[in-house]
Structure 1
Amino acid sequence: MVLWLSVGVFYAGMRCAVASGCRSVGEVASNRNMAALLITTRGIIVPQQLKAYGGTFSRSIGERSDHLVGNFVLQSLSPSRTAHSPLLAKNVKTKTVTSFEDMLLAPELRKALMQSLHIFTPSPIQQMAIEVIVQGKDTVVAAPHGEGKTLAYLLPLYQNMMKDRDVYKIPLRERRPRMILLAPTK
C-alpha cells in the first residue's frame, strides 16, 4: 500500500510545497509570472508502515496497492499525469539506513535524540528522507500521520543551519528566517 501525493516546489527567496487539493501545478505554470519560479523537485513516497512510535495506520483514499515499492522514490498519481510533468521526471534511488549512527547527522544531534527525546531508531520515513534532505535536495515527504515526517525535516535542516553558521560563517540573526517548514494539519 502506498500513499500518493502530487507536488510542486517554487522558489522565490523561499521554498514551499503545493500538494493536491491546493492550487494545481498546471494553474501555476500557466501563469507567466509564476512560470519562471518553477523548479524541478523530487518527492519521497513511502509504503504504509507502522507509526513511528506505536500503533498502525488505516487505509486512506490516496493509497494504491498495485505498484511495487522498493528502495525507490515513486512517482505521482498515474502515468498520464506524470508523462508531461517536469516535476516527476524520473524515479530516484534512495539509500535506506537502519540507525541514526548510519546517517549523516551530527553526533550532537544523535546524542540529543537518544538522551533527551529517547528516540533510538529512526522510523521508516526518517530512514529514507534524512540523508536526502541533509544533501540539500528539494524534497517532499508524504506519509500518514504519526510517521515522523516533522523530525525527518527538522533534523537535517537544523544541522545545515548550524553548518552554515560554523563553517561558512553565515550569522543566524533575528528577523531573517533561514528556513520555512510548512506542516499542514487536517
Structure 2
Amino acid sequence: MNMRTKSLYPFAGQYCPVDIFGYASNGIPGIEIVGLGKYSRSMKEKFIYLSRERKLRFPLKRFVLCIEGEVEGKKFKEEEYRYLELPLLLMLWSLTGHLPLGHLEDCFASGKISVEGEVSALLLNNQEQENLNEIFKLDDDQVLKIIAPEKTAVFSDYYHLPLEALFASLIKS
C-alpha cells in the first residue's frame, strides 16, 4: 500500500511546503522515518508510544514514511519540525489499517502531538489557507481536505475533516 499527502512547517518566519509519502512492504517489520535526519528517531518512538497507549497492533510489515522537501540540513528553532508529526502519524495509522482513510492525496494536515495525544495544529489565517491550492499546485477542480481539530477555522472552499472524529474511529486490533 502506498500513500501521499501534503503539509507545511514553519521555518524562519515562513511556511515551507513538503510532500509526505509512505508505503508498507513485506520487508523486516518496523517503522522508518526518512528525511528528518536526527529528529526521525524521537518522532518514531513517540508514534510507537502513542500507538501502544491506544492498544493498536501493527501488522508484521515494514512501514516507511518519507518527507520530501527542504527539510534536511535546516537548523530548526523551537522544534518547528514537530509540525510534521500529525501528518506522519495519520499516514502511519492509515497504512497500518487503523484509520479508515483510503488515501490522503487530497488532504492537508500540520500539527504537533504531545505524548498525551493532544494536537497543536498549525494555525493558518484565511489568506494563508486560501494560498494552499497555489502552494501545492492543485487543479482548480480539486477540493482540499483539511485535517485539523474541530475548533479550527477552515477556509470555506475546503472540506474540514475533524481530527477528533478520525481519532474516535481508530480500529483496535
Tell me the TM-score normalized by structure 1: 0.25
The structure having more radius of gyration, on CA atoms, is 1
Tell me the TM-score normalized by structure 2: 0.27
